[in-house]
Structure 1
Amino acid sequence: MVHFPILVTSVTQTLSPTTRLRTLGMSAGIAARLRTMIEEGELPPGARIDERAFCEAFDVSKTPLREALKVLVSEGLVLHRQYIGYRVAPLDLEELRATFETLHGLEALAGELAARRLGDAAMAKLERRHQAMIDAHAAGRRTDYFRINQEIHQLIIDGAANPVLAGVYATLMSKVHRARGAANADTLRWQESHEEHEEIMAALREPGRPHLAQVLRRHSENTATEVLAVVARSLAEAGARDAGLKQSA
């Protein structure tokens, strides 16, 4: 993807009420799509946004796209800086590292509890979602794979039947979701994640599930290693780009 700066301006103030409502309706849909692309790694941290390319992809004019980008700026997903323009907001490496350290323990605890509490109906649903994930992997549908991957982890958390654990887990996962999406966009990690999920399912099928907690923790640690490496590279690249742009300005 070729990245160019975007200038986001308020251009709907002079439109008629009907046209403005139609534009805002379109921009909401565009914002939702861009938000998903950012959260699932299609638009990685630090990426420039090519306005012309997205207008062509969404088959829209600049007006609804710019309105959508203003929404994402207000949400903190897109940033604007002088000489740089608009780009996907970077991630905080140290906060991610601390969050993952906590998640490792939660994944293991969920495994211990789910080993005893996860019932037959939940296990059957896990089998179905795992097969759907295998199908997505075989077909190269990376975004679908990532979504189903998250659903499987959530089903295990639900199977632990501990609402406090579920609440803390949801809060922490919201902090790392975008970073996990960026790492899953990496082909090598995608394959490794697929193989690790096979190990998780094997541990779930095992009588008594004695290894589930250990397998889940190892998967979390491997994911964190790759995610933090991807984020560190993106921050370094963004810093180099910023320095180059400032020198040329």
Structure 2
Amino acid sequence: MRSTMLIATEEKTKARAGGRVRRSGLYTGIADRLREMIQEGELAPGSRIMEKELCEYFDISKTPLREALKVLVAEGLITHRQHLGYHIAAIDIDEIESIFEVLHGLEDIAGSYLSTRVDQDALSAIERKHQAMVLHHASGKRAAYFRLNQEIHQMIIDAVRNPTLSAIYTGLMTKIHRARGIANADSFRWKESLAEHEALIEAMRASDQEALRRLLREHSEHTAQEVMKALRQLPRA
């Protein structure tokens, strides 16, 4: 399993020590951790679930693990076939690509309004979150960096104060979350992405509408290119 689960050595060692589900915990806790591992790219699409090793990882018996797996099968994150066992569900690359095309347009729309609608409180909150993300980058905490990155993107869209835009964006980002996590697990674009975020914040400070439209769309396009590249390099099921 370790050869296909894409578990980064340093962070996953810490996760094993600090994130282990207690024996007395409910199977929902196991499902939550497995869901996180799938969505953040720790478990590769198409890879087989090795129940014995997961039981050792969580320090549990097979019963709560099986219950957790059933939850994720119902959510579509895991598949189960008789005699073949449990596998991480594959990702529809064409669907992800089509979602990114729509997201590029939403980022463009956000840039058109952001310069006149973002207030100081929202900008200050984004800047604080960005500084925390910078610290995660400096210490190599990839998973924590990725989570804050996601939060910042939503905060920028929410700063436009258009509930419809925010709701559509949230829904689409949820659909590509796992794909982005896979790219993040094997990405060399960290520094470039961080610089793009800093440029976005500068444009918000300057209320530069044209720069915001351009930077938001370009950042979205660069992210899409990285994600699609990572997805196309995945082994075929």
TM-score with structure 1 length normalisation?
A: 0.81
Q: 5+ residue gaps in structure 1?
A: 5-21, 240-249
1:25-44 to 2 correspondence within 5 Å? 25-44=25-44
Distance in 2, Cα, partners of 1:23 & 1:82: 28
Q: 1:191 to 1:53 in 2, by over 3 A?
A: farther
Distance in 2, Cα, partners of 1:206 & 1:48: 50
Distance in 2, Cα, partners of 1:60 & 1:26: 11
Q: 1:23 to 1:67 in 2, by over 3 A?
A: farther
Q: Which moved more, 1:215-224 or 1:202-211?
A: 202-211
Query: Is the aligned partner of 1:162 residue 2:177?
Result: no
State the SS of the aligned residue for 2:74: helix
Tell me by how many angstroms 1:204 deviates. Answer: 2.1
Letter in 2 for 1:79: T
Letter in 1 for 2:129: R
State the SS of the aligned residue for 1:238: coil
The two structures, once aligned, show a CA RMSD in angstroms of 2.1
Query: Is the aligned partner of 1:203 residue 2:203?
Result: yes
1:7-156 to 2 correspondence within 5 Å? 25-81=25-81, 84-156=84-156
State the SS of the aligned residue for 1:41: coil
Tell me by how many angstroms 1:148 deviates. Answer: 0.5
Q: 1:62 to 1:190 in 2, by over 3 A?
A: farther
Give yes or no for contact 2:27–2:68 (8 Å, CA) kept in 1: yes
Distance in 2, Cα, partners of 1:127 & 1:82: 50
Q: 1:195 to 1:186 in 2, by over 3 A?
A: farther
Query: Is the aligned partner of 1:238 residue 2:236?
Result: yes
TM-score with structure 2 length normalisation?
A: 0.85
Distance in 2, Cα, partners of 1:154 & 1:75: 23
Moved over 6 A (4+): none
Distance in 1, Cα, partners of 2:187 & 2:167: 31
Tell me by how many angstroms 1:74 deviates. Answer: 1.2
Letter in 2 for 1:2: S
Q: Which moved more, 1:165-174 or 1:183-192?
A: 183-192
Larger Rg: 1
Tell me by how many angstroms 1:24 deviates. Answer: 9.3
Give yes or no for contact 1:137–1:145 (8 Å, CA) kept in 2: yes
Identity %: 52
State the SS of the aligned residue for 1:87: strand
Q: 1:199 to 1:39 in 2, by over 3 A?
A: same
Q: 1:228 to 1:24 in 2, by over 3 A?
A: farther
Could you say which residue in structure 1 is the equivalent of 2:226?
226
Distance in 1, Cα, partners of 2:160 & 2:106: 11
Give yes or no for contact 1:72–1:78 (8 Å, CA) kept in 2: yes
Count of residues paired in the alignment: 220
Could you say which residue in structure 2 is the equivalent of 1:179?
179
Tell me by how many angstroms 1:23 deviates. Answer: 7.9
Letter in 2 for 1:93: I
Tell me by how many angstroms 1:104 deviates. Answer: 0.1
Distance in 1, Cα, partners of 2:137 & 2:110: 26
Q: Which moved more, 1:84-93 or 1:196-205?
A: 196-205
